[in-house]
Structure 1
Amino acid sequence: MVRRVATDAPQDASPALAAPPAVTARALLPLIVPSLLVGVAAALVLLGVSALAERLQDVLWETLPDALGVGAHSSLWMIAMLTATGCAVGLVVWRVPGHAGPDPATTGLVDPPVPAGVVPGLLLATVLGLAGGVSLGPENPITAANIAFAYWLGRRALPGVPGALWLSLAAAGTIGALFGTPVAAALILSETLTGRPGPGRLWDKLFGPLVAAGAGALTTMLIAHPTFDIALPAYPGPGWGDVLAALVISSVGALLAMAAVYAFPYVHAAFRRLKHPVLMGTCGGLLLGLLGALGGYLTLFKGLDEVKTLTADPAGHSAGQLALMTVVKLAALTLASACGFRGGRIFPAVFAGVALGLCAHALVPGVHPTLAVVCGVLGVLLAVTRQGWLSLFTAAVLVADPGVLPLLCVATLPAWLLVTGRPQMQLQEDGAPLR
């Protein structure tokens, strides 16, 4: 009986379940040079924009307040600077050709190419937002800019190559550069390429993007030496109590972030009523400044450097302060994304998750801070990005400890059940949330 079932199985198998044929090496080899070029260029664009933003940030938050005799961390300066930043970004959106791209509330991490003429305004608005203290990261606009450049140049240099390939290469190169590893790009693109038509297995489709991601990651590592290690205490290994803690913290993170997701379309609609981009940006900047005054200086900016400051002294803030930072950062992320600032949501979400995890440790000291932080980041990212691999990878890469991986995989399950099928933090053109 067993032999007969095994013999009959291939005959009854559905063709849809059959593995697609592999692509030959001869077909993949021509992808190497374009992939390398796109990956290196994507990393250089990211590094250039980041360096420019950091220099401008030094001027705005150190040189200028020192010259005026005003404390950069004072509430007055935060409110004034973020209001001015909102006004400046609004002027770019209003007057610069291309209007800095589409409404950021309607865009994701990897989108179809925008016209190349949009890119200068998009990058200018991004630099102003990053330097001015807006709670958004560089990932979305930099990825959009690199996709636009790669698509525009690639279609002219090699018109016979499908346009979708240039999109994948630019996205992979940027993501690899952002995280300093091609693994992040492989995980994210595996979610988008699995169902894409075309010959070859998944790894055949990932061949070019992985080359671009590796080139982007190596370029960033060799030039800037980035690190995501936030220097948390070593995790001793899972215990029975850790399982419950992981489930609870990731679920709470997902629920808190989902509150921001549900508020997002209403906040966006309120700003749309202002109609003029300068008015929207100025009012948004003023509100972000007030949130910064409430939550403190650490709740400003994209959040990656601020996370390292926060975790350098896990016991330096009370549970109440950490809870306030979590809520303020999520509110600032929602507000900045809704009022027209150009930027990504991954790094601010990471800060909110870290603050939530440290809050959980402060409330229950028996919960290890490393476990609490990675589970908080996991839950918040799942709700904000709705990308499982990205969330799991980002949470794991914050600590160089494989002991947290089994618990993170378990903690993903209830958090994913809370967010899947629900509105996303991305809107359609008519203002309705994506699902």
Structure 2
Amino acid sequence: MKSHLTHLIHCLLLGAIVGTSAALFLSGINGSIHVVWHVIPDVIDMPYHGMWIGLLGGLGIGLVQKHIGDYPKTMHETVAAFKNEGRVPYRGALWKNAGAAWIVLTCGASLGPEAALISILGGMVTWIGDRLRMTEPQRQTFLQTGYAAMLSTIFHAPFVSVSEAIEEEPSQETLSKWDTFQKIVYYGICTLIALLCFRSIMHLFPHTPVFSIKIPPIAWNVGVIWYIVPAVVVGVIFGLLFLLMEHWTDKVAYIVKHPVRLALMAGLAIGLASLISPYLLFSGEHEILEFSKEASSWSVGALFLLAIGKGLLTHLCFSCGWKGGKIFPLIFSSTVLAFCLSSVSPFMPGLIITVVVTASCTVVLRQPLVTATLLLFLFPLQFFPIIVLLSLGIHQLMSRYGKYLPFAVVK
């Protein structure tokens, strides 16, 4: 009983630390973006300021890559370290991850903050775990709980942690049903506290709504059935194209190799993108609501070019050393493409958008339950059963036939 109470207290404290740290970091990033992209250009007459910001950011990232190391660490690197070693390195790594991520996110890269936050918060949780008096199994449970709360907080999706726990690769340790239930309860408590702290602090700072979308009112019509299959096909094709873009930009990076040149190349691309459309910049989590309000005024061709351009810039930045998360840009770009198809559908455009985004995200993320819980609060709750069934079906399809594609789709 005492051990359960102790672990419960640890979950409460851990959730508070995760939520507070994430909110402060993101609020700081939002503040620096406002200063760099709005305040300074208003004070200093700087023509093509986006170009200068991109190039200066490229120089900074290039010097970091050359003299400090490969920072910020990607989410896959951090998760792999956690699963293989049971911990996230933090000695000398916290400030490197934070500093490099600050440049990436402030200077307009089409990347999300999840990679930086996972590495920073993972290091913090490991540091705390090392200093608490715990047995090794207790410490591992503590770290796993913190990791789950981080995922849910970063993606604004409370049930991501539970989905991740269900879909994670089975370990050699066999847990009883009671132990599994306890694990999920601890995940839930820690996640709840983290989200409460996160949202409470974020409300103290002015910011645009994140990870929300405006879709037309729902009016169920059986005629939408004829558009479901095309929507699935469009979503799957875009997901595959998104992966293929990564393949292309990695080849470019392999040819150039020099870290400063690569980073400057991505910075130049960011500068050029700023001259075309602000929607090409940043992760898209803040911009998706505003875009969805005006998407109907865009032509189909412009929507298509924006979706492709966003995906290309995301992968180019990443391949050239501007490390960050690709999940939010993926959701934004697939949503943009979905508006192309929904604009020609006379029935339930909201459902068409949901199907396209679900299909593309399932192909790229490869975790159907995580995909479904990510999209749970983005789209109307009435569509959630469709999201789940579609995610599971497409995942099975890609698991069976993805190996025949000329680039890796499934692990």
TM-score tier (shorter): 0.7 to 0.9
Provide the secondary structure at the position in 1 that maps to 2:296.
Answer: coil
- Does the Cα contact within 8 Å between 1:134 and 1:336 map onto a contact in 2? yes
Alignment CA distance shift 1:415-1:288 (3 Å): farther
User: Matched residues in 2 for 1:220 and 1:149: separation?
Assistant: 16
Residue 109 of structure 1, CA deviation: 5.7
Structure 1 match to 2:128: 153
Pairing of 1:63-74 with structure 2 (within 5 A): 63-70=39-46
User: Matched residues in 1 for 2:67 and 2:188: separation?
Assistant: 38
1:107 aligns with 2:107: no
Alignment CA distance shift 1:229-1:264 (3 Å): closer
Structure 1 match to 2:202: 224
Q: Which has the larger radius of gyration?
A: 1
Structure 1 match to 2:25: 49
With normalisation by structure 1, the TM-score equals 0.81
User: Which residue, 356, 369, 382 being the options, matches 2:362?
Assistant: 382
User: Matched residues in 2 for 1:26 and 1:369: separation?
Assistant: 54
Give per-residue Cα distances to partners, 1:339-384, cap 9 Å, x unaligned. 222211111111012101111122x141433212222221221122
Letter in 1 for 2:359: G
Give per-residue Cα distances to partners, 1:206-245, cap 9 Å, x unaligned. 23322221111111122225653323222123x3332343
User: Matched residues in 2 for 1:383 and 1:79: separation?
Assistant: 34
Residue range with higher mean Cα deviation, 322-331 or 219-228: 219-228
User: Which residue, 372, 386, 390 being the options, matches 2:352?
Assistant: 372
User: Which residue, 66, 70, 74 being the options, matches 1:94?
Assistant: 66
Letter in 1 for 2:385: P
Residue 195 of structure 1, CA deviation: 4.9
Structure 2 match to 1:412: 391
1:348 aligns with 2:365: no
Residue 66 of structure 1, CA deviation: 1.9
Give per-residue Cα distances to partners, 1:240-262, cap 9 Å, x unaligned. 33234333223312221212313
Q: Alignment RMSD, CA only?
A: 2.7
User: Which residue, 85, 95, 100 being the options, matches 2:57?
Assistant: 85
Q: Which residues of structure 2 form unaligned runs of 5+? A: 204-208
User: Which residue, 331, 339, 342 being the options, matches 1:358?
Assistant: 339
Alignment CA distance shift 1:170-1:410 (3 Å): closer
Structure 2 match to 1:312: 293
Residue 171 of structure 1, CA deviation: 1.7
Alignment CA distance shift 1:110-1:220 (3 Å): farther
Provide the secondary structure at the position in 2 that maps to 1:420.
Answer: helix
Pairing of 1:115-264 with structure 2 (within 5 A): 115-116=89-90, 117-162=92-137, 163-192=139-168, 195=171, 197-201=173-177, 202-225=180-203, 228-237=211-220, 239-264=221-246
With normalisation by structure 2, the TM-score equals 0.86
User: Which residue, 35, 47, 50 being the options, matches 1:59?
Assistant: 35
- Does the Cα contact within 8 Å between 1:180 and 1:221 map onto a contact in 2? no
Residue 417 of structure 1, CA deviation: 4.5
Give per-residue Cα distances to partners, 1:374-396, cap 9 Å, x unaligned. 22221221122222112212223
User: Matched residues in 1 for 2:348 and 2:227: separation?
Assistant: 9
Give per-residue Cα distances to partners, 1:310-338, cap 9 Å, x unaligned. 11223121111111111111112221222
- Does the Cα contact within 8 Å between 1:39 and 1:172 map onto a contact in 2? no
User: Matched residues in 1 for 2:120 and 2:142: separation?
Assistant: 12
Letter in 2 for 1:249: A
Alignment CA distance shift 1:314-1:263 (3 Å): closer
User: Matched residues in 1 for 2:28 and 2:155: separation?
Assistant: 19
User: Which residue, 290, 293, 300 being the options, matches 2:281?
Assistant: 300
User: Matched residues in 2 for 1:367 and 1:186: separation?
Assistant: 34
Give per-residue Cα distances to partners, 1:21-46, cap 9 Å, x unaligned. xxxx6654332111222221111221
